[in-house]
Structure 1
Amino acid sequence: MSNFTFSLTDLEHIVALAKDAGKAIMQVYAKADLGVEVKQDDSPVTAADIASHNVIVAGLKTHFADIAVMSEEAADISWTERQTWQTYWLIDPLDGTKEFIKRNGEFTVNIALIHQGKAIAGVVYAPVLNKCYSGILGHGAWLEHEGVVTELDISSRAINTPPVVVGSRSHVSPDVALYLEQLGEHTMLSVGSSLKFCMVAEGQADVYPRLGLTSEWDTAAAQAVLESAGGVVLAYPAMTPLEYNQKETILNPYFIAASKAWLAKN
């Protein structure tokens, strides 16, 4: 697949699929019992995670039958097999399960296309907020909200004064606290799930420092959106591109997601 291409029409299929998954999630969200269980790693999973997974996988098999799929809810794929993949789908059917359980609306459907280690296309859909972010590297990024589509471009955007930092609502690590202390004066916003990347892509925040554990499916779709909008996502402190499927573990290193203006000055 060295000449692999992904078109805007292909992206439209993924946007539609993310919205279908969102509908499946909202059917569970409306119920009193969310079907919460605890996985082996002590993280929660709900009936909505599974319903969304099933919708996405079925849709990908229909439209992109020749591309492998890795999902948080079907992650038991050996490194021996994965390391042969040049191109594959990386999905988090419900990112922000804790936010889903809290019913605060800050959860998303994440669908990313990985090609040769890079997140080249992605869709992040927040069904409660009715916001759908999408992007293809080299083509652009967009936000659809209440039926209105806006192009996202922060490639030449200046830094907010004071700078705006976005962080996790459910996971604040000591390393992030130290980073913020060293930063000095700033405004801090907290939000769940991959929406943090999207706030940077919209220009609502300058930087998202994630100095704690994440898995590759947590970040890929939103990284594609942010980088398609002119932002950057770099492993920290190495400051090298955050890549996918380059090692046996699916855990990400620490990373910084930011506007280019932020990185130029920091």
Structure 2
Amino acid sequence: MPEDDRKKLLELAKEVAVEAGREVLSIYDTGEFNAYQKDDDSPVTSADYLANDIINKRLQAATPDIPILSEENKHASLAERETWPRYWLIDPIDGTQEFIARSGDFAINIALIENNAPTIGVIFWPPGQSLYYASKGEGAFKEAPGEHRRIQVRKLDDPHNSVVMIAISRRQSRDKIMSRMTAKRVYQTLPLGSCSLKSCFIAEGKADVFMRIGITGEWDTGASQCIVEEAGGRILAANFEPLTYNQRKTLENPDFVVMGDQRVPWQEIVQYEKE
């Protein structure tokens, strides 16, 4: 895609994420929303549906030639999806459980996938008034009140011995994650909610690694992957194989790991065995 076209799509995604995020934050502040259980027992709220409606309408109006794959839409078959050279990949609210629990750890995720790889990533954190974004080959950035800067993963003073900061889920067992980290290192932990916010914190150097054990969808990693990798990190399946997009019948991700400083021997630190 020509660079100018991608810049226009990045600006569009940023505008749409902020617009949806502000509406979601208004609902969050009032506490006036309905919560439901989906068929897979995951939670969803009326705020998710509103955000999804806003994002879909804005993107469809501006880019009618680009299909949309959203967590909250009916999903096209692989046979149809395989014909898409590019598409929008959306998670209207990443961290719905945190939205319901009122931790503030939820975000709006919009990615553009081209030839099965993320090339634009936008994540808006409404309570933090923070917008993280990246475009392939152009670096990763953060905008917040009084702040607009390029972000990079933290460089450890000693990649082989420095203390490693692990982003830990508020809802997962700390022991479950720590048992998969080699005892040869010293760790600190940072509790956070949504997958995408943990990834953003790694991208801006507030944490070094995050392992996700459990069910997620491709929309949970698309925007994050672009931002983290443009900030100098990586997201891989927990067995250190690449994540895939739009190449399988299922849209579920494998367990995955988000890593900062690439000088660190992460395969020696993360001791993963599939349950």
Both proteins in one fold, TM over 0.5: yes
Shift of 1:32: 3.5
- 1:156 shift after superposition: 5.8
Alignment partners' CA distance in 2, 1:121 and 1:13: 11
Deviations 1:106-155 (A, max 9, x none): 10000011111111111000001111100012111100011421101238
- Specify the alignment match of 1:186 in structure 2: 187
Alignment TM-score, normalising by the size of structure 2: 0.88
The change in CA–CA distance for 1:178 and 1:80 in structure 2 (over 3 A counts) is same
* Residue 201 (1) aligns with residue 203 (2): yes
Q: Verify the 8 A CA contact 1:200 1:207 in the aligned structure 2.
A: yes
Cα offset for 1:183? 5.6
Tell me, what secondary structure is at the counterpart of 2:263? Answer: helix
* Residue 136 of structure 1: aligned partner: 135
* d(CA) in 1 for partners of 2:111, 2:130: 17
1:114 maps to which residue? Answer: 113
Assess, with a 3 A threshold, how the Cα gap between structure 1 residues 43 and 200 changes in structure 2: closer, same or farther: same
Q: Is this contact kept in 1: 2:153–2:233, CA < 8 A? A: yes
- How high is the TM-score relative to the length of structure 1? 0.91
Cα deviations by residue, 1:89-113 (Å, 9 ceiling, x for unpaired): 1100000001001111110000011
Show the 5 A alignment for 1:1-266. Answer: 3=1, 5=3, 6-154=5-153, 158=157, 159=159, 161-172=162-173, 176-180=177-181, 182=183, 184-193=185-194, 194-237=196-239, 239-259=240-260, 260-263=262-265, 266=268
CA contact (8 A) 1:106 1:195 kept: yes
Output the aligned Cα RMSD: 2.1
Cα distance change of structure 1 residues 211 and 173 upon mapping to structure 2, 3 Å threshold: farther
Deviates more, 1:211-220 or 1:90-99: 211-220
Secondary structure at the residue paired with 1:233? strand
Shift of residue 71 of structure 1? 0.6
Name stretches of at least 5 consecutive residues in structure 2 with no aligned partner: 269-275
Q: Work out the CA distance in 1 between the residues paired with 2:171 and 2:85.
A: 33
Does the CA-based 8 Å contact 2:215-2:254 persist in structure 1? yes
Aligned residues of 2:153 and 2:208 also touching (Cα < 8 A): no
C-alpha contact 1:206 1:262 (8 A) present in aligned 2:
no
Amino acid at match of 1:106: D
Counterpart of 1:7 in structure 2: which amino acid? R
Equivalent-residue separation in structure 2 for 1:175 and 1:183 (angstroms): 17
Give the secondary structure class of the aligned counterpart of 2:30. coil
Contact 1:173-1:212 at 8 Å conserved across structures? no
**Against the structure 1 CA distance between its residues 173 and 76, is the aligned structure 2 distance closer, same or farther, given a 3 Å change threshold?**
farther
CA distance in 2: counterparts of 1:200 and 1:181, whole angstroms:
20
CA change 1:47–1:224 in 2 (3 A) is same
- Equivalent-residue separation in structure 2 for 1:245 and 1:255 (angstroms): 17
Aligned partners of 1:95, 1:166: CA distance in 2, in Å?
A: 16
The range that moved more, 94-103 or 31-40, is 31-40
Give the partner amino acid of 1:161: S
Displacement of 1:84: 1.7
Aligned residue for 1:60, secondary structure, equals helix
Give, in whole Å, the separation in 2 of the partners of 1:16 and 1:129.
Answer: 16
User: Aligned with 1:30: secondary structure?
Assistant: helix
CA distance in 1, matches of 2:83, 2:156: 39
Separation in 2, partners of 1:263, 1:109 = 32
TM-fit CA distance, 1:243: 2.1
Q: CA 1:26–1:199 in 2, change beyond 3 Å: closer, same or farther?
A: same
Cα 1:228–1:155 change in 2 (3 A) is farther
CA contact (8 A) 2:21 2:125 kept: yes
3-state DSSP of counterpart to 1:151: strand
